[in-house]
Amino acid sequence: MKRLALPLLALLAACNQEAGGEPVTRINLENPGLSEPPAPTPTPTVASACQTVTFEDAQLTDCIADPAKHRITTMLGNPPYRSFKAYAAARPANAPKLAFVMNAGMFDDTGKPIGYYVRGGERGHELNRNDGAGNFHMKPNGVFFGSGGKWRVMTADAFYSQVGDRPDFGTQSGPMLVVDGKLHPEITDDGPSKAIRNGVGVDGAGRAHFVISEGPVSFGKLARYFRDVVKAPNALYLDGSVSALWDPAADRMDARAPIGPMLVVEEKTQ
């Protein structure tokens, strides 16, 4: 069999290649005068409430709960679910659409909260103002709570002295990251302790920002994001290495370690 010359082979190969560029309009062979438009590019049906941002060379994911669109509640389970996967399996099929879920603060070895916890107006654990070791007892610690569409972060002492009515939901953690517009007095600018961390703060428009780092960060860097970007007058640390986010719209479900209580953000139903 006679071999083709190399230049001819290259020409034939080039003829078989498809040119790049805009999508090709297909021709209807039965009616050449009728062309078919290119197939549309699929787009997500649900937009995520979370976005990844870069702050001081660190990647953070900021999930925003808007009181005009969302409802916040706490979730634990009996016994505690300990993971998003277990909660997802137990969640009723007719439950409101999830926007996102994040772990909700400190807990004991069984997954039960060690501080204030309220779900649906029912208190599961009283406010904890005791002294002790660890991040939770790095005073001031605080409470994230709310009723209806009004959500707040307060120090535990301020909550104890100023809040008389039990909220619809509430969870206690510590330390506070931002107190009255200033960083927690024991948080340094960029200390040596770094971990995946998350927290929550409410901006001037009443929206709750749930922020989780995508890599190890210091307390100071996370706190400055709430102070300088979110502009939250008060922000609360939720947890460290176990920090986790479930964002259904982004097909994300973290499972680093067993967790305790959760903060669930759902779409409001009409």
Residue 52 — left, alpha, or beta (φ > 0 → left; ψ -120 to 50 → alpha)?
beta
Is the pLDDT score of 39 beyond 70? no
Q: What percent of the chain has pLDDT over 70?
A: 83
User: Which is nearest to 170 in space by CA: 205, 124, 139?
Assistant: 124
Q: In this structure, what is the dihedral angle of CA atoms 92, 96, 101, 105, given to the nearest 10 degrees?
A: -80
Digit-coded pLDDT (tens) for 179-194: 999 999 999 988 888 9
Q: Would you place residue 254 in the very low, low, confident or very high pLDDT band (cuts 50, 70, 90)? A: very high
User: Two tokens at 235?
Assistant: 């922000």
Is the pLDDT score of 50 beyond 90? yes
Average pLDDT of every residue of the chain? 88
- Judge residue 55's burial from the number of C-beta atoms within 10 Å of its C-beta, 0-12 exposed, 13-18 middle, 19 or more buried: middle
- Write out the E strands in the chain: 26-27, 35-36, 50-55, 58-65, 70-75, 98-103, 117-119, 122-125, 142-147, 150-155, 169-173, 176-179, 182-183, 198-202, 208-213, 235-239, 245-247, 252-253, 262-267
Digit-coded pLDDT (tens) for 111-147: 999 999 999 999 999 999 999 999 999 999 999 999 9
- The dihedrals phi and psi of 140, each to the nearest 5 degrees, come to -80, 140
Q: What percent of the chain has pLDDT over 90?
A: 79
Rounded CA separation 81/100 (Å): 16
Report the amino acid identity of residue 10: A
pLDDT score for 16 = 43
Digit-coded pLDDT (tens) for 144-162: 999 989 999 999 999 999 9
Q: Please say whether the beta carbons of 115 and 173 come within 8 A.
A: yes
pLDDT score for 86 = 98
Rounded CA separation 202/159 (Å): 16
pLDDT score for 270 = 60
pLDDT score for 29 = 44
Rounded CA separation 120/73 (Å): 7
Digit-coded pLDDT (tens) for 186-219: 999 888 889 999 999 999 999 999 999 999 999 9
User: Two tokens at 206?
Assistant: 């009443």
Is the pLDDT score of 42 beyond 90? no
Q: How far is CA 162 from the centre of its chain?
A: 29
Average pLDDT over residues 245-254: 98
Is the pLDDT score of 44 beyond 80? no
Q: Would you place residue 169 in the very low, low, confident or very high pLDDT band (cuts 50, 70, 90)? A: very high
pTM value surpassing 0.95: no
Is the pLDDT score of 224 beyond 80? yes
Q: In what order do the strands lie in the sheet with 245-247?
A: 70-75, 262-267, 98-103, 245-247, 252-253
DSSP structure class, residue 220: H
